[in-house]
Structure 1
């Protein structure tokens, strides 16, 4: 090996070249110990080199099994996708609005003769990585994906590039990765949704409006953007202290710790609160009611998604209406078009509004 580069980069170059000329997709590579012996380098050097190839999406590590080639073989051929199989990767499968979205997609795909495989990331980057790596080793005809933590840098984007580069069409739903070029997606107009929520409250006479938003998914950023823009445009107060951000991991601690006292104090000078979704709104209303506040007379609450949660609350929640089944259907139709070789464009779907008791 040349000494012009660090050893691990030279080893990565050598391994990459060997894979491209001598290996096929799915083929098992030598073990770390065998590479140490063959190339005369340390274990750390081998692991650094393999990490580079893994980040490039060229190899996949399978715990307890070994290291496998995940991409094109030496002759530029792609491992043949499983015909008539579509993989649906979502943060959640059986909760909230996701069953409805999946039902809409499955309805379209089943009529076209496809089987739908489901995978759940729980909005965890490491779980998403394992799922996408296994898909690379055994690719489907196409994928519908709800990305994981789409508002922050995601190390799994190279794996999606690998899949797309190998000819697997992907349609993203609800959100997408900004640094993944030419993405096809079907999403709600979250920025406009934030504007619509605030506009509705202002028309009800509210000026002191707070908000709760999710910081690790792009939907939260877009909803906040519309929220903030509408407040400013209507000469209502945009006050940082009236905005609360949470993540997947710290949601309960941030929002509902201290028996809700923090939340009550946070929005003490607000007459209305915009909630990121119905799951949040249900608990916010419960905290307000337990604190002796009247909803909506003292605290109005508006939310997103118009899920079944909005009707299960003790005070039925005014909520922007997510397209649910229609979004799933639209994503499936786009995917089928892409599988058929047609070029597609992203689709942004409007929100409806279901006014109920909380405003």
Structure 2
């Protein structure tokens, strides 16, 4: 079978990762590559030219092709494309990530999208132009069609590794996507089982419906309720959108009262998509004279600072301290240095407090 030069590029990129791990530096000769791939020397040279343009190899006349020293040939800046580096869990995550990358001689540049497709497109164009060591993408509403996927493919095709945080484009996830991820179905099941063990028999869920993490948590919620013979139908969960979460701070625009009016009913516990939702829910329940956890338990995800804000300390499922930033830094450095990387879902840690 004869290979196209693009096929050879893909196969040699994998081989380069193995070489870096093994300590090898010299690629097979052009003649050897022609025999391996059953192709012409021109085809092999085209593939090597692509690898050289990506900064992965250096070609020495009369000597051959060698693994590039990425410390000298590659940009040392890592770009992080996210909605807003100052929101929710991100200030702490980014501070620790920046520190860990600096220890490995990389710098971090955050590019904000303001949560819009246009904003994301502008920052992806910047990343494509700057050709950083790696790009971290914190996806927008990833179950909604997104016209920016072509730009992400261009970035990857230019030789810049792409790492996704928590979830990826598109859904279902491509096999070759590098993701620092969570097992969201398992996380929801952990919380359902926890509440059931405390005697709760009517559990509601508040999930984000335009993001795969929310839908995976809904799936795990439904599975655990079914396994435990707890009620589980459309009246036991409420879906909100990214836009509705942003409107929580707007006067009269919160969806929390609607959830209470339409869904809470006789439920004795609620699992929330994140600590922001849980905090807002507890405040609104208090305004209505409904006590937490006396009348209804409230638990959530992320174990952020919202979980320990004021007297309403929230039982929240998160990860170990700095676990996300550590896993992200390790993964980014590995792909930037063209080492093979195998990521495992982040482990869950349940932090039990007084909300349920």
Q: CA 1:257 to 1:85, structure 2 compared with 1: closer, same or farther past 3 Å?
A: closer
Matched, 1:251 2:245: yes
- The counterpart of 1:115, out of the listed 97, 102, 107, is 107
Do the aligned partners of 2:137 and 2:165 also contact (CA within 8 Å) in 1? yes
1:98-117 CA distances to partner (integer Å, 9 max, x unpaired)? Answer: 12221232222101111110
Paired residues for 1:238-317 under 5 Å: 238-251=232-245, 257=253, 261-265=257-261, 266-317=263-314
Partner residue, 2:349: 352
Do the aligned partners of 1:89 and 1:120 also contact (CA within 8 Å) in 2? yes
Paired residues for 1:42-57 under 5 Å: none
Matched, 1:332 2:337: no
Q: Distance in 2 between matches of 1:353 and 1:258?
A: 28
Do the aligned partners of 2:181 and 2:346 also contact (CA within 8 Å) in 1? yes
- The counterpart of 1:229, out of the listed 219, 223, 228, is 223
Decide which moves more: 205-214 or 259-268. Answer: 259-268
- The counterpart of 2:190, out of the listed 160, 185, 196, is 196
Q: Which runs of 5+ in 1 are unaligned?
A: 1-74
C-alpha displacement at 1:342, in angstroms?
A: 1.4
C-alpha displacement at 1:324, in angstroms?
A: 6.0
Do the aligned partners of 1:103 and 1:325 also contact (CA within 8 Å) in 2? no
The number of residue pairs the alignment matches comes to 285
Cα RMSD between the aligned structures? Answer: 2.2
- The counterpart of 1:131, out of the listed 120, 123, 128, is 123
1:165-217 CA distances to partner (integer Å, 9 max, x unpaired)? Answer: 11101111111123563100111221111101111111111111111111122
Q: CA 1:261 to 1:184, structure 2 compared with 1: closer, same or farther past 3 Å?
A: closer
Q: Distance in 2 between matches of 1:288 and 1:125?
A: 35
Do the aligned partners of 2:201 and 2:268 also contact (CA within 8 Å) in 1? yes
Secondary structure of the equivalent of 1:358? coil
Q: Distance in 2 between matches of 1:325 and 1:129?
A: 29
Q: Distance in 2 between matches of 1:211 and 1:188?
A: 18
Do the aligned partners of 1:124 and 1:149 also contact (CA within 8 Å) in 2? no
TM-score by length of 2: 0.75
Q: CA 1:253 to 1:270, structure 2 compared with 1: closer, same or farther past 3 Å?
A: farther
Paired residues for 1:62-73 under 5 Å: none
Q: Which runs of 5+ in 2 are unaligned?
A: 1-48, 56-72
Secondary structure of the equivalent of 1:88? strand
Do the aligned partners of 1:279 and 1:309 also contact (CA within 8 Å) in 2? yes
C-alpha displacement at 1:79, in angstroms?
A: 7.3
C-alpha displacement at 1:251, in angstroms?
A: 2.9
Matched, 1:208 2:175: no
C-alpha displacement at 1:91, in angstroms?
A: 2.4
